[in-house]
Amino acid sequence: MPSARTAIELKNVIKAYDEKASALDRVSLAVREGEFLAIVGPSGSGKTTLLRLINRLAEPTSGTVRVEENDVSVADPISLRRGIGYVFQGIGLFPHMTVAENIAITPLLIGWDKAQRAARVEELLQLVRLDPGKYRERFPAELSGGERQRVGVARALAAQPKIVLMDEPFGALDALTRDALGRDYRELHDRLGVTTVMITHDLTEAALLADRIIVIHQGHLIEEGTPHSLMTSPKHAYVRELVETPRSQAKRLAALMKGAAEQ
């Protein structure tokens, strides 16, 4: 359950446009501990920039970013990143390392011994529903897209982070795998009690997984709310448009299924 304590806080963050990042204009938001927050927006809206500000893969032009109440601009970026799980669409598994070595990388960096790392790999592979005996010694090239992303999630969770950042984590997967992985992850989120910030351009995915949704549009935070409030009473024109598609799809599907039942 989300507690009252704040895990991540952005205050009046401005990020001037440069070649590496889209701009953000005076964005403020707070994520509670244990919360699952989804950030939705079209490509180029600045949502990836927002996520990268949290683990200092990007630096704000002005404003403050706090993680567990500490200003990240004075934190050591390396130890900050080791304490935050990071999953992104490209996955970026190290192709010359086995699945086990990939998963154990952050524990290795922070000095866990071999036995601890092996036990952790075992545990995580089971957690992401991959048979350890079968997958431990495989190389990334020998895995399917879904398997790779499961390993990516396991790698992000390996050093027991309290915060997990996910950037379009399931974007490249087929619909079935994507749904299964999303639900599996939500279950992990609840079981491990982590705080998750997930970026997606798919409102349906956000609505089905997250506790709360934030919509970013052209660098501005234009709306936020629970999946329920956003789906039922969107205020901003762009969000209304965004909501329209899944709503009409849901209606047509419901009608189709009703029709099928009457036949």
Partner 1 sequence: MSGVDPRFYDALARLPDYLGSHVLVSVTALALGLGISLPLAIIATRRPYLRNLILGFASIVQTIPGLALLALFYPLLLVLSALTERMFGAGFSALGFLPSVLALALYSMLPVMRNTVTGILGIDPAVTEATLGVGMTRRQALTMVELPLALPIIMAGIRTAAVWVIGTATLATPVGQTSLGNYIFTGLQTQNWVFVLFGCVASAALALAVDQLLALMESGVSIRKRWRIAIGGLGIALIIAAALAPVFARPAATYVIGAKTFTEQYILEALIEQRLQAEGLSSARRDGLGSVVIFNALANGDIDLYVEYSGTLWANQLKQTEARPREEVLAEIKKWLSENYKIKMLGDLGFENAYALAMSRKQTESRGIRSITDLARFAPQLSIAGDYEFFARPEWKALVAAYGLKFREQRLIQPEFMYQAAAAGEVDVISAYTSEGRIKQHDLIILDDPKRAIPPYDAIILLAPKRAGDEKLIATLRPLLGAIDVKLMQEANLRANGSGRESSPEEIARWMWSEIERKNRPR
Min separation Cβ 144 and partner 1, Å = 17
Closest CA to 161 of 79, 254, 77: 79
| 106 vs 195, beta carbon nearer partner 1 | 106
| Least distance (Å) between residue 167 CB and partner 1 | 10
Residue of 72, 184, 180, 76 whose CA lies nearest to 125: 184
151 contacts 130 by C-beta, under 8 angstroms: yes
Q: Which of 96, 129, 134, 183 binds partner 1 (CB under 8 A)?
A: 96
3-state secondary structure 102-160: HHCHHHHHCCCCHHHHHHHHHHHHHHCCCCHHHHCCCCHHHCCHHHHHHHHHHHHHCCC
Residue 162 near partner 1 by CB under 8 A: no
Running DSSP on this structure, what letter comes out for residue 44?
T
Pattern 21-60, partner 1, x by CB under 8 A: ----------------------------------x-x---
106 binds partner 1 (CB under 8 A): yes
| Minimum CB–partner distance for residue 112 and partner 1 (Å) | 13
Q: If binding is defined by CB under 8 A, does position 144 make contact with partner 1? A: no
The answer to whether residue 172 forms part of the interface with partner 1 (CB under 8 A) is no
Burial degree of 55 (CB within 10 A; 0-12, 13-18, 19+)? buried
- Examine residue 247 and tell whether it contacts partner 1 (CB under 8 A): no
Residues that bind partner 1 (CB under 8 A): 55, 57, 78-83, 86, 88, 90-96, 105-106, 109-110, 155-156
